[in-house]
Structures are given as C-alpha cells and as structure tokens.
Amino acid sequence: MTPEEALNQEAAWALRSVLADAKPDQQSEYRLRAGNYTPRTPGQRPYNCPRCWVRSNMRAPLRAVPGTEEYDCLRCEACDADIVVPFE
Ligand SMILES: [Zn+2]
C-alpha cells in the first residue's frame, strides 16, 4: 500500500467517525472537506494528517516514526494519530 492510499483510507474512516457525531447541518461541510483531502500538498514535503484535516480543517504535518517489518508508521504531533502504512 502506498502512503497516499493509507492516508486516503484514514481520511474516509475519519469522515465516518465525525459524521456519526455531527449535527445534520455540519455533515455536508465534513463531506466536502474529506473530498478535498490531499495526502500531500504539491511542493510540500510532509504528508497532511487526514484526521486533523477532516475533523479540524487543519493541515498538520505527519512525521515518520519507526515501524516494523510489516509496516511504516506516520505520526501526527497535533492529534497523536499513528497512521500505519502496510507494505502489502
Ligand atoms: Zn492529526
């Protein structure tokens, strides 16, 4: 799995979880935001945290942290999310 695929998947999960708690008038805004999610802004190095993007409308950088033999790991300093990028 590429980092982009893992991050897009995470954005879809983040959307599902915020929609469960969102008021009806907020739902379209969250959907729109999730639809606009870009793992990496062109010309920018770090990946954007999908959870901060969808939940807080914030571009928080992800930092690579040690993974395992099966996956890489990206961490968000803002929301403490660990995003796993499986090699397969
Ligand atoms: Zn975050």
- How many angstroms does the Cα of residue 55 sit away from the middle of ligand 1? 9
Q: Is 90 exceeded by the pLDDT of residue 41?
A: no
Cα–Cα distance between 1 and 12 in angstroms, integer?
16
Cα–Cα distance between 12 and 87 in angstroms, integer?
20
- How many angstroms does the Cα of residue 75 sit away from the middle of ligand 1? 8
- The pLDDT tens digits of the residues spanning 7-30 come to 999 999 999 999 999 999 999 999
- How many angstroms does the Cα of residue 8 sit away from the middle of ligand 1? 14
pTM of the model: 0.91
pLDDT band at 67 (very low <50, low <70, confident <90, very high): very high
Q: Is 90 exceeded by the pLDDT of residue 42?
A: no
DSSP label of 48? B
Supply the mean pLDDT for the chain: 95
- How many angstroms does the Cα of residue 23 sit away from the middle of ligand 1? 22
